[in-house]
Amino acid sequence: MANISSANGTITLKGRWTQKAIDAFIPVLNSWEFYGQYGIQSYYSKLSLKNKTTDFHGCGRWSFSGTLDSFDDWTRDWIKTNPDKSHPLTAEQYNEFLKIMYDKKLKIEITFTDEEEGVGFRVNETGVFTSDGESLCYETIRCEEEDYEEGSWESLGCKSFDAAVDFFAQFVVDPDKKELQKWVKAFVLPDKCYLYTDEETNIYEFLEDNFTEFEFIEYFNVLYDFMYRFKINENDKWSALKDFVTNIYGWDLDNINEYFKFDLRSDEEFDEWYQELQNQ
């Protein structure tokens, strides 16, 4: 079974589009929902002579770029095998649209970010649809693959990172959010399991279920840094974390002869990183 990628971007009409050409394109665009799994799932504003750009969300079979390359074949297959009363499109309409595009040298520019979590890639791409009069042709103009490690906060996304910050905030009295965020980024091993925690989560059971075979932080000294840097909330949750690291890892947090304090990155460096994480 093919992996599904998720793409978000814009569709822009390039060239001297007339209302007739736009009207011919709309039923084609609507048909690109295809089978509900791949294609352009939705677009968010009506195209017109005054508005030639719309945002969209789409899904790709392995990649959205590869799916765009197959749009002509898929459109013709859709016409033959999947007549849809809500998005009617005939072969005659499609062929007329291709002829209009070719005669007037019109282009459809697609700019998008495509992400597939299974394989682990994120691509920024711009491409254009043109017509040779008989078929729709897709060409990639620009493609940049973002470089991030699988299992990093960048690959897991901002929600996973924020959930980890919220998890560790439970052990602190009035935490400095920026300082806690910087600490989590520096020392907590990225994991999406934090998404499934809340204030009612049993801390010991959560740690036991997810971190028995490997640790949740870079090394044990950073917990000493955590205790030095923040005012610990001496409650049942903190007691559960201490019990877990003692029973499973053999770390004794009650008898520390020397505190370790590590340097964190500057606020400016973190803010730049976090802004990029939010924009993914």
pLDDT digits (tens, 9 = 90+) for 132-155: 999 999 999 999 876 555 578 888
The percentage of residues in the chain with a pLDDT greater than 70, rounded to a whole number, is 90
pLDDT at position 69 over 70: yes
- Record the pTM: 0.56
What does the domain layout of the chain look like in residue ranges? 4-145, 153-279
103, 10 contact by CB (below 8 A):
no
DSSP 14-46: ES---HHHHHHHHHHHHHTTTTSSSEEEEE-S-
Distances (CA, A) of 51 to 27, 183, 208: 17, 46, 55
- The predicted structure's pLDDT at residue 1: 43
pLDDT at position 22 over 90: yes
Tokens of 248: 């499973």
pLDDT digits (tens, 9 = 90+) for 200-231: 999 999 999 999 888 898 777 888 889 989 99
pLDDT digits (tens, 9 = 90+) for 45-60: 899 999 999 999 988 8
For the chain, give the mean pLDDT: 88
Q: At what angle do helices 19-31 and 91-104 cross, to 10 degrees?
A: 130
- The predicted structure's pLDDT at residue 185: 93
pLDDT digits (tens, 9 = 90+) for 108-135: 999 998 887 655 567 889 999 999 999 9
Buried b (16+ CB within 10 A) or exposed e, 171-200: bbeebeeeebbbbbbbbbebbbbbbebeee
